[in-house]
A and B are shown apart, each in its own frame.
Chain A
Amino acid sequence: MLRVSDGAQLILIILLPLVVAPICYVLRSVRVVWLLTLATALSCFLMSVGLLLVVLDTGGFSYHLGGWAPPVGIEYRLDLLSAFVLLVLTAVFFVCQLYAGSLTVASSSKEVPPAIAPAFFAATLLCIAGLMGIVVTGDVFNLFVFLEISSLATYAMISLGRDRRALTAAFQYLVLGTIGATFFLIGVGLLYAETGTLNMREMSMLIPDLVDRQTAFTGMTFVIIGLALKLAIFPLHLWLPNAYTEAPSVVTVLLAGTSTKVAFYALARMVVSVFGVETVVETPLPRLLLIVGSLAVLFTSAQAILQANVKRLLAYSSVAQIGYMVIGLGLLTTEGLAAGFVHLFNHALTKTGLFMAVGIMMLVSLDARLSSLAGLGRQMPWTSAAVVITAFSLVGIPGTAGFISKWALLDAALAQEAYLIAAVVVVGSLLACLYLLRLLDVMYFQVSEKPRESITIPIHMVTALWLLAIACIWFGLSTEYSLSVAKLAAASMMESL
């Protein structure tokens, strides 16, 4: 086998989906396209495992595109944190592609018609390439370009939903997403005008001296607000419930596991690595993050309780979970950051699994209304069992992945003597308990009015779902690969870029 250098592996992992996407777009057979996408996803996953092992060994490396060293050229940089997020991304992507294999089965291919399925797979590949690009790039403008690549693919994927409301949801996301990206662009422009560089590392050295300058401060503000829109932080989250609800299930699972996670990574990267902790502590930003994070947890969890649509319920819960991560970032300590990132990891597994289970149940119930799921607990025992596991993980019951991250966050908040924040974390979990109990109650203790025909669930969907459900338990019992890596990553990030 050809031995490729680490740097070549780093560029290959992004280039591979970018190259396979146009090939998929041209092909006709759904099965061939799916196999091609799955193979790409698997190779990306294996490469990211390899990269993480390398980084655990060496502590990180950088790659100069075209051999041009920064500040002239674009630098790709892999450190522990980016390798960790890269691994989460590729793992979720692989499982989602396994799940999307259901599109090759006639009974469940209604979601995305076979005629446009190749274009759908091409869009997922572009989306993941963009997201991985955001994670590895060391150049702020390059980050913008990757952000837009992934966003454009996402808008197109959301619009594939069966209901016509998917179109308006995609349009709403397009307008807000473009405003967010343009805000980021304005911020980058102002920071470039002030520092004269686009390289993150060089920028991070120059910014501490410039923080009193209006231009630099305004630029930082624009960057943060732009990313906050993409991340769907509490008052800027209005696009997310619509987009998650109306998109086809195969798209929702991918979005829930990847896009907001990467936006959180980008925000943390800009705030901690580029602006620097010393700079940010002087600004109102940490307090602001704590406030909006807490509001997100409380308000959107409460809103989730009131939803009559399961996908919308889970979407509001996603906004609440983003709140937890933002709280972790707002604490601005190593423990807080580690808690934020391990929650990113656990929530990616948990929420993707839940959305997958709902997608499977929708094959039987035919719509996403909560009342339509009545009695499914008895009819589909295995899928429902997976729902129970992932729901426990979302609440944070001990023994599941969600517990680890909530506990880490609680720990970090108590270490800072931020008792109010700790209270918010606990209350948020109780609210999560309430809305998930509603779901479980309907599934197990209510009886469906009309009899349903039983259909065979595509094996791809079941395999993908159970992979995640088992992962939820595995990472709840063993923290070796999640929490300890996140802690190392956070520690190395706090030290320097």
Chain B
Amino acid sequence: MTDYLILRVTAKFLIPIILLMGLYVQFHGELGPGGGFQAGVIFSAGLILYALVFGLDRLSDAVPIVALKVLSSVGVLLFAGTGMISVIVGGEFLDYNLLAEDPVAGQHLGIFLVELGVGITVASTMLLIFTLFAAQNDHV
């Protein structure tokens, strides 16, 4: 990959912006268009671009497959755990109003946590699918 200077320079320029955009969509999602799904996909797209330009090995060094597996589970648990808190407090599943003293603050906190869970799961699952497929190339 040393030959493709333009690709490397452009990618190095683009990847931080893509990742930043992903984070923006993630954390601004409760106020405007966006949310965990979209953010997760954008974030993983940035890392996939990194793998495409600099090679899968370097991505796997940075984000090992085991970490992706754990992260994809952690996201689901974060989502379900947030929902369960309101059940334990005595409300209904995913009732954000009960997460804090003030219902509005509870809504903010609930949406933030749930979307974070979704974002983590989507991003790590997309990367996991990509990594596993790309690693297949060696033996087909």
Interface of A toward B, CB cutoff 8 Å? 4, 7-8, 11-12, 15, 18-19, 22-23, 25-26, 63-67
1/0 per residue, CB under 8 A from A, across B91-106: the answer is: 1111111000000000
Chain B residues near A65: list those with CB within 8 A.
92-94
How many angstroms between the C-alpha atoms of A64 and B87 in the bound complex? 12
CB distance from A273 to the nearest CB of B (A): 23
* Interface locus among B14-22, B25-33, B38-46, B75-83: B75-83
B131 in the interface (beta carbon within 8 A) = no
B58 in the interface (beta carbon within 8 A) = no
Chain B residues near A63: list those with CB within 8 A.
92-93
Nearest B residue (CB) for A64: B92
CB-based contact B70/A26 at 8 Å: yes
Selected from B70, B73, B84, B92, the residue in CB contact (under 8 A) with A67 is B92
CB-based contact A66/B94 at 8 Å: yes
Known: A66-B93, A67-B95. 13 other contacts (CB 8 A): A11-B93, A12-B87, A15-B80, A15-B83, A15-B84, A15-B93, A23-B73, A26-B73, A63-B93, A65-B93, A66-B94, A67-B92, A67-B97
How many angstroms between the C-alpha atoms of A23 and B91 in the bound complex? 26
Chain B residues near A12: list those with CB within 8 A.
87
CB-based contact A25/B69 at 8 Å: yes
Chain B residues near A67: list those with CB within 8 A.
91-92, 95, 97
Chain B residues near A19: list those with CB within 8 A.
76-77, 80
Interface of B toward A, CB cutoff 8 Å? 69-70, 72-73, 76-77, 80, 83-84, 87, 91-97
In the complex, 24 of the A-B residue pairs with CB atoms within 8 angstroms, ordered by the A residue number, are A4-B87, A7-B92, A8-B87, A8-B93, A11-B93, A15-B84, A15-B93, A18-B76, A18-B80, A19-B76, A22-B72, A22-B76, A22-B77, A23-B77, A25-B73, A26-B69, A26-B70, A64-B92, A65-B92, A66-B94, A66-B96, A67-B91, A67-B95, A67-B97
CB distance from B58 to the nearest CB of A (A): 25
Nearest B residue (CB) for A27: B73
Top-9 shortest CB links A-B: A22-B73, A66-B94, A67-B95, A11-B93, A67-B92, A22-B76, A19-B80, A8-B87, A26-B73
CB distance from B30 to the nearest CB of A (A): 15
CB distance from A123 to the nearest CB of B (A): 14
How many angstroms between the C-alpha atoms of A395 and B43 in the bound complex? 57
Chain A residues near B84: list those with CB within 8 A.
15
How many angstroms between the C-alpha atoms of A245 and B84 in the bound complex? 40
CB-based contact A66/B92 at 8 Å: yes
Nearest B residue (CB) for A63: B92
How many angstroms between the C-alpha atoms of A25 and B66 in the bound complex? 11
How many angstroms between the C-alpha atoms of A12 and B92 in the bound complex? 11
Chain A residues near B94: list those with CB within 8 A.
65-66
CB distance from B128 to the nearest CB of A (A): 11
Task: Select the residue from B84, B87, B91, B95 with max chain A CB neighbours within 10 A.
Answer: B87
Nearest A residue (CB) for B92: A67
CB-based contact A11/B87 at 8 Å: yes
Nearest A residue (CB) for B69: A26
CB distance from B139 to the nearest CB of A (A): 16
Chain A residues near B77: list those with CB within 8 A.
19, 22-23
Nearest B residue (CB) for A19: B80
Nearest B residue (CB) for A23: B73
Chain A residues near B72: list those with CB within 8 A.
22
CB distance from A154 to the nearest CB of B (A): 19
CB distance from A209 to the nearest CB of B (A): 32
How many angstroms between the C-alpha atoms of A22 and B117 in the bound complex? 13
How many angstroms between the C-alpha atoms of A64 and B93 in the bound complex? 8
